[in-house]
Structure 1
Amino acid sequence: MSRVIAETLGVGVVLGGQPVLHGVSLSARTGEVLALLGPNGAGKSTLLAALAGDLPPSAGQVLVHGKPVGGYRPKELAKLRAVLPQQVLLSFPFTVAEVVEMGRAPWAGTPAAELDEEVIAEAMRETEVTEFAQRRFPSLSGGERARVALARVLAQRTGLLLLDEPTAALDLRHQEAVLRIAKRRAGAGDAVVVVLHDLGLAAAYADRVALLSGGELAAAGPPAEVLTGELLSRVYRHQVEVLAHPRTGAPLVLPRRDHE
């Protein structure tokens, strides 16, 4: 039985004097991958930041484990949720192994620290970065950096994973690998919230999807219910066809490309 780990209740966010989110209510549940979808500027990353407690809402409330997210001290919150931002900027040329090890910082001085070595090694194996553990982070390609950043988040070992476009810099194989990792974490009882632009990945791997449009929640539910041609065409302002995958039945989202 899944339970709610984090939720937004009528959340609104104003940035630079401009409203970005309007009254969004959404929950992240154990055992599920929730994909946040929508066109550029829809408010996906803003909603993720609000869920993470990194961006205070101007209206409504964000709860983590039933408590207002602003009521946690930073170290307490770091034990409850791990956040992967779109870009990871480091001021010093840390090695890959050192970057991943940073994910264990919240557990320093606790019994969980005894697992550091094992957890770090597992996170690096999952993301396929072990072979360049001693390379300097700035020397990596964009895709390699993205995988190292994900390894750091996995090493944090929290029950709530918040991933902002984790597949953006990755090739096809590693995109699939990242979503398989998300699915495994959800299968182990975690709640995973992931911002995606690839509707096909969302349809294949998400248990629920939330479609944002203009800072509002246009629809939320299982992919087969939300990812319809009519709704997607309206939200993305481009004609879309949705077919059923011949083997899995999952929605296949295809932009119309009619050439005269």
Structure 2
Amino acid sequence: MRLLRRRFNPPAALPPGAVLAEVVGVHVRLGGREVLRGVDVKVRGGEVLALVGPNGAGKSSLLAVLAGDLAVARGDVQIHGRAVAGWSAGELALRRAVLPQAAELSFPFAVEDVVRMGRAPHDSSAAEDDTVVAEAMAATEVSGFAARPFSALSGGERARVALARVLAQRAPLLLLDEPTAALDLRHQELVLRVCRERARGGDAVVVVLHDLGLAAAYADRVAVLCQGRVAADGAPGDVFGERLLSDVYEHAVEVLPHPRSGALIVTAKRNL
């Protein structure tokens, strides 16, 4: 598939730890309900920020606000130091890449063509595109079915192809909405390792997760959302306390060190 391109100005390189996206005092209403209430969040290069919390807490809405895809009723949203409304769609595509919860296509594109769509914002050569697409497919382990139609894939395979498209976009801000939801254990770990690698390279990664164990293992920071507000924001070891999580999830939660590695384990308390 050959891409039609329009020339946009690429983002300037930012120093490590720079704020790539920020929301200040954000309020969002959907369907007559306030889903975000005075939220403040900063997203920095070089870190993985996990958004966690129960269903309906506002995680996906906050991700959409950070992407510039959801209008706010009040508050400020900035990407790369500029109000989100000040960027064109093409300029935004060079600065942030978004993975939605569901990946659907109406036409039977081949897997490789779907991944190549991530290169559309770039004014790059075919050879460079080929290299980037191949690297993204290898990172997500979808190279083996590059020629298969996207519509013929399983849910987990589609999720990995969609992630490969996001990686191929090579934006410095990655916004991923539940990227592990359809994946088996092995590929959940693979996806979060990819997130860590991108952060080590200086990118900012924001990922919505339901698995608190994955968030504890891979995130530099976690923002715990509850009823449209940020209940806590900090390193997993500082934020993941039994009392806070039990209150937020309305279910008893245990937080304990792994007996061998000492890594944080977060699990529901069960009476079996």
- Interval containing the TM-score (normalised by the shorter chain): over 0.9
Q: Which residue does the alignment assign to 1:91?
A: 106
Matched letter for residue 105 of structure 1: A
| Displacement of 1:3 | 1.3
Structure 2: how far apart are the matches of 1:68 and 1:232?
Answer: 33
Pair 1:251 & 2:264 matched: yes
Contact 1:224 1:250 in 2 (8 A): no
Contact 1:13 1:59 in 2 (8 A): yes
Q: Which residue does the alignment assign to 1:174?
A: 187
Structure 1: how far apart are the matches of 2:262 and 2:227?
Answer: 30
| Displacement of 1:56 | 1.1
Q: Which residue does the alignment assign to 2:4?
A: none
Contact 1:103 1:154 in 2 (8 A): yes
SS of 1:246 mapped into structure 2: coil
Pair 1:187 & 2:193 matched: no
SS of 1:162 mapped into structure 2: strand
Structure 1: how far apart are the matches of 2:194 and 2:262?
Answer: 22
Q: Which residue does the alignment assign to 1:24?
A: 39
Structure 2: how far apart are the matches of 1:112 and 1:154?
Answer: 17
Which of residues 102, 119, 135 is equivalent to 1:122?
135
Matched letter for residue 104 of structure 2: L
| Displacement of 1:250 | 2.7
Structure 2: how far apart are the matches of 1:73 and 1:89?
Answer: 24
Deviations 1:60-104 (A, max 9, x none): 011011101111100000000000000011110100001000000
SS of 1:79 mapped into structure 2: helix
Structure 1: how far apart are the matches of 2:45 and 2:21?
Answer: 9
Structure 2: how far apart are the matches of 1:41 and 1:192?
Answer: 22
Q: Which residue does the alignment assign to 2:242?
A: 229
What TM-score comes out, normalization by structure 1 length? 0.97
Deviations 1:2-61 (A, max 9, x none): 111101111110011110000000011011000000000000000000000000111101
Q: Which ranges in structure 2 are unaligned for 5 or more consecutive residues?
A: 1-15
C-alpha change, 1:11 and 1:131, in structure 2 (3 Å) is: same
SS of 2:232 mapped into structure 1: strand
Structure 2: how far apart are the matches of 1:235 and 1:249?
Answer: 25
Q: Which moved more, 1:240-249 or 1:53-62?
A: 240-249
What TM-score comes out, normalization by structure 2 length? 0.93
Matched letter for residue 237 of structure 1: E
| Displacement of 1:246 | 2.9
Which of residues 201, 205, 210 is equivalent to 2:214?
201
Q: Which ranges in structure 1 are unaligned for 5 or more consecutive residues?
A: none
